Amino acid sequence: MTTQVQQRPMDERRAAAFADRMVGAVDAASLVLQCSIGDQLGLFDVMAGLDGATSEQIAQAAGVRERYVREWLAALTVAGVVEHDATARTYRLPPEHAASLTRAAGPDDLARLCQCIPMLAEAEQLVVQAFRSGGGVPYTAFSRFHAVMAEDSAAVNDASLVGTILPLVPGCPDRLTAGIEVADFGCGSGHAVNLMARAFPASRFVGYDFSPEAIGRARAEAAAWGLPNARFELQDVAVLDRVDAFDLITAFDTVHDQAQPGQVLATIARALRPDGVFLMVDVTGSSEVADNVGMPLATFLYTCSLLHCMPVSLGLDGVGLGTMWGRQTALRMLGEAGFADVEVREIETDPQNAYYVCTLG
């Protein structure tokens, strides 16, 4: 006997509106790819400095091929991002658009964020496969991960690390000025460590990451800046064996990526001195998906999770926490690791992250 499933009658207007939305989504996704290309090649930066120019002039200023630039400009013209004068054959990036698309915009440069989509898409076929067969994706599947991540976090840290973020920890700038021991877990390309080491020469900094590429980039920057107080170690932070070693430990956007996040938080608690502080910067939002409906960039963040953060953890036989583990889970896990006191702060230049100031109590 077959059971008939009663379908609700279809709302034709709702269906048409949704189809329109999907058409818009395909166009918007295409615009994101165009913006990623423009950002990587510095085309927006060049255009912001020219008040209307031909494709030849833009190509020459950017040092790239005119035929490609002309096709890119065509896409951005129909997308309404650049203005085109068909008679003069010129293209102009209005300053109101440049404010969201150029490096001069710092943390407000959304073209930089657009690079994340093609970076994530590198793993798309492996993720499709993992839906069927389980397992995960290795970090090495993402050829541009460290470059994109470094540029993204540097934009926030250049603008805010020393002046806004570190002062979230009571007394921190004074202690750093006097000279303390600091570790950054999952330091990636190490820019945050190098910024802190440059600003606080009396303190000593170590960055840990298990990626040789990231550690190489971090050491190269420290050497270029001539920093005697910054060092970087190739290290799986889940098995780091340090006790009572640090006055300040930072973890920028890395705990949710961990294969064993609980173990890493316990390692951090053990490595911290009794009066030390752990500053964990991690993606904001709720652990309940229903609470995140309507949150800006929520679809993007769950996409980062599905295509990168969750599968890299699962690929190491990890728990696959995911980008959107949320504040409730974060607070529970920090408590389980031994952090008796946790204050959650936010900053304007980094609305996607929560800043957890944690002490052992």
Q: Measured from the CB atom, is 34 or 194 closer to ligand SAM?
A: 194
113 contacts ligand SAM (rule: CB under 6 A): no
How far, in Å, CA of 118 to CA of 138, rounded? 17
210 contacts ligand SAM (rule: CB under 6 A): yes
Q: What is the DSSP string of 202-225?
A: TSEEEEEES-HHHHHHHHHHHHHH
236 contacts ligand SAM (rule: CB under 6 A): yes
- 318's CB contacts (< 8 A; 6+ apart) are 136, 258, 259, 260, 261
237 contacts ligand SAM (rule: CB under 6 A): yes
Q: How do 181-185 and 272-283 pair as beta strands? A: unpaired
Q: What is the DSSP string of 160-183?
A: HIIIIIGGGSTTHHHHHHH--EEE
Shortest Cβ contact with ligand SAM: which residue? 188
* Token couple for 12: 């034709």
Q: Measured from the CB atom, is 208 or 232 closer to ligand SAM?
A: 208
Q: Measured from the CB atom, is 93 or 259 closer to ligand SAM?
A: 259
What region does 135 belong to: left with phi over 0, alpha with psi -120 to 50, or beta? left
* Token couple for 281: 């910067």
Radius of gyration of the chain (CA): 23
| Shortest spacing between CB 139 and ligand SAM, in angstroms | 6
Q: Measured from the CB atom, is 150 or 310 closer to ligand SAM?
A: 150
| Shortest spacing between CB 188 and ligand SAM, in angstroms | 3
* Token couple for 39: 């950002």
Residue 280 and residue 358 in contact, taking contact as beta carbons nearer than 8 Å: yes
One of 149, 159, 161, 334 touching ligand SAM (CB under 6 A): 149
214 contacts ligand SAM (rule: CB under 6 A): yes
209 contacts ligand SAM (rule: CB under 6 A): yes
187 contacts ligand SAM (rule: CB under 6 A): yes
| Shortest spacing between CB 149 and ligand SAM, in angstroms | 5
| Of 33, 100, 92, the residue nearest 57 (C-alpha) | 92
Q: Measured from the CB atom, is 38 or 188 closer to ligand SAM?
A: 188
Q: What angle is formed at CA 254 by the lines to CA 250 and CA 258, rounded to 5 degrees?
A: 125
Helix axes 66-78, 55-62, angle to 10 degrees: 120
Q: Measured from the CB atom, is 54 or 211 closer to ligand SAM?
A: 211
188 contacts ligand SAM (rule: CB under 6 A): yes
Stretch that binds ligand SAM, among 74-82, 160-168, 209-217, 270-278 (CB under 6 A): 209-217
Residue that is written with structure tokens 């904001």 in the block: 284
253 contacts ligand SAM (rule: CB under 6 A): yes
151 contacts ligand SAM (rule: CB under 6 A): no
Q: Taking the CB of residue 230, how many other CB atoms lie within 10 A of it?
A: 26
268 contacts ligand SAM (rule: CB under 6 A): no
Residue that is written with structure tokens 């950017």 in the block: 62
211 contacts ligand SAM (rule: CB under 6 A): yes
153 contacts ligand SAM (rule: CB under 6 A): yes
One of 238, 283, 321, 334 touching ligand SAM (CB under 6 A): 238
| Shortest spacing between CB 143 and ligand SAM, in angstroms | 14
| Of 345, 360, 146, 163, the residue nearest 249 (C-alpha) | 360
Q: Measured from the CB atom, is 205 or 252 closer to ligand SAM?
A: 252
305 contacts ligand SAM (rule: CB under 6 A): no
- 100's CB contacts (< 8 A; 6+ apart) are 108, 109, 110, 111
How far, in Å, CA of 47 to CA of 65, rounded? 15
258 contacts ligand SAM (rule: CB under 6 A): yes
Q: Measured from the CB atom, is 261 or 276 closer to ligand SAM?
A: 261
Q: Measured from the CB atom, is 55 or 115 closer to ligand SAM?
A: 115
Q: How do 272-283 and 353-359 pair as beta strands? A: antiparallel
| Residues near ligand SAM, by CB under 6 A | 139, 149-150, 153, 186-188, 208-211, 214, 236-238, 252-254, 257-258
